[in-house]
Amino acid sequence: MDNQTEPQTLSEEPEITLRCNKCNRPITPAEAVLTPTGYRCKDCVRNQQKVFDTSRTLDYVWAFLAAVIVSFLGSLVGSYLGFYTFLLAPAAGVAVAEVVRFITKKRRSLKLFRLVALAMILGGLPLIAINLLNFLMSLSAGAFSFYSLLPLGYQVLYLALAVPSAYYRLSGRRRL
């Protein structure tokens, strides 16, 4: 892809040329990518992105399993805490993130973070399913009350707080 021709500057006005601030190669404005540290050529940007994607295949397997288990344990604790789930859940998210970071030796990738989020949801599903079932049974028994909905609500709250907490912790990002 590199048949860079030096701009002909014999008699014409010299073109505004940029240089990649990493490899110092002259680049045209069209090729230049503005990064937080200045203009870079596309090759250097691509190499930089590889640095942020360091996950190995087994990382996905172990991180997935760990996130399912820790998330499930968190939801189990949450089922005893009730209202205080809102305090536990962000901490559980941090716990998942730290376990994943430990297992993967801090190797990282966007795919890994997303997989961990998915795994946490799966880990929280058993108790959501059980509580949903309980709620439906209380409905069919004609014993509906607001309080029969609470355990289910707390489990949903648990995931709603724990998953973003783990994701931010892993990725250092603000949003999903």
Q: Which residues contribute to the site for Zn ion (CB under 5 A)?
A: 20, 22-23, 41, 44
Q: 106 CB contacts (<8 Å, ≥6 apart)?
A: none
Q: 105 CB contacts (<8 Å, ≥6 apart)?
A: none
Residues shown for the chain:
176
Least distance to Zn ion from the beta carbon of 39, Å? 9
Tokens found for residue 56? 């190995």
Which of 63, 56, 52, 51 shows the shortest CA–CA distance to 115? Answer: 63
Nearer of residues 18 and 119 to Zn ion, judged by Cβ: 18
Tokens found for residue 51? 């640095």
Nearer of residues 25 and 101 to Zn ion, judged by Cβ: 25
Least distance to Zn ion from the beta carbon of 23, Å? 3
Which of 61, 171, 46 shows the shortest CA–CA distance to 114? Answer: 171
Nearer of residues 23 and 122 to Zn ion, judged by Cβ: 23
Least distance to Zn ion from the beta carbon of 74, Å? 45
Nearer of residues 44 and 95 to Zn ion, judged by Cβ: 44
Least distance to Zn ion from the beta carbon of 100, Å? 33
